[in-house]
Structure formats: C-alpha cells, structure tokens
Amino acid sequence: MKLGISTCLLGTMCRYDGGHSKDKFIVNELGKYFEFTAFCPEREIFPTPREAIRQVKINDEVKIKTSNTNIDVSEKIEDISKKIINTIQEDELCGYILKSKSPTCGMGKVKIYPNKKNGQSENVGVGIFANELKK
Ligand code: SF4
C-alpha cells in the first residue's frame, strides 16, 4: 500500500535550515509495510537552505511570508500545493503523513503570527499544502 508523506520525515535534508525531521518509527516500522511517495512543496520552489516562512494574519486573511524579509510567498506555495495535489490524484495513495507544525505541511495547530514584529502567535492554523490535501 502506498502512503504519501512529507519528505523531511524520511530523513531527506529539505527543511529550511538544511536539516531533516526523520521519524524513526515511520522509517523503521511503517516502512516495512508501506511504500512511501514523498513530497516537499517548499523544496519544489525554494532552495535549501532557505529563509524560514510563517503564517501571518493580515486583516481576516492568512498569508505566508518569509520570516525576516517579510516577502509574501502565499501564491507560490498555493500554486505548488495545487500542482502536487493534481499529481497525487494519479498515485492511488491510501493515506498521507504530514509533518506537524509546518506552515506548509502542518495538519493543525500551525502558528499564525500577527502582522507586526514581536507579536504573540496563536496555534490555530493549517498548513497550505495540508489544507489543499484535505480538500
Ligand atoms: S515543506 Fe513539508 S516536506 Fe518540506 S521541509 Fe517543510 S514540512 Fe518538510
């Protein structure tokens, strides 16, 4: 059976900081029973390492911005997420494992920041890719 998975969970060094988020249970245990099809939406459009991105609430909308340079990359992330989802339709996946807390892959409790420096974040967001996947 095939499972989709966030690439960094398999140990691939595709995180913004050049690291990975390898999950030994997934790799060593689930790996015995499932075939993984991995996707990293951010790596498709940005280099690694790269500036971190985060969700920012602007009026009633949530945008994705680079953490330090404050560049709006929402459209890029949304576009690549939709493209990947389109290819996934052909893959006959029976499920998907998503990296927690990521502004792209997080299934829930993703931090949303106010549109100002040093503001308090709330853990209520959903990653852009995860949201498309749920749809
Ligand atoms: S975009 Fe997803 S797969 Fe890529 S590094 Fe971030 S959490 Fe991992």
Q: What is the pLDDT of residue 118?
A: 79
| Percent of the chain residues topping a pLDDT of 90 | 90
Mutate to test the pocket of ligand 1, among 5, 8, 67, 83 (most ligand atoms within 8 A of CB): 8
Whether ligand 1 lies within 6 angstroms of the CB of 43 is answered as: yes
Nearest residue to 78 via CA among 25, 47, 42, 114: 42
DSSP 121: P
Q: What is the pLDDT of residue 117?
A: 76
Whether ligand 1 lies within 6 angstroms of the CB of 97 is answered as: no
Whether ligand 1 lies within 6 angstroms of the CB of 107 is answered as: no
Nearest residue to 80 via CA among 126, 124, 133, 125: 133
Distance 62 CA to ligand 1 centre (A): 19
State yes or no: pLDDT of 89 exceeds 90: no
32-56: per-residue pLDDT in tens?
A: 999 999 999 999 999 999 999 999 9
Query: What's the mean pLDDT in 59-84?
Result: 96
Alpha carbon separation from 58 to 53, 61, 112, 132 (Å, rounded): 15, 5, 10, 20
11-22: per-residue pLDDT in tens?
A: 999 999 999 999
Whether ligand 1 lies within 6 angstroms of the CB of 76 is answered as: no
Q: What is the pLDDT of residue 90?
A: 84
Distance 114 CA to ligand 1 centre (A): 23
Mean pLDDT, rounded, of the chain:
96
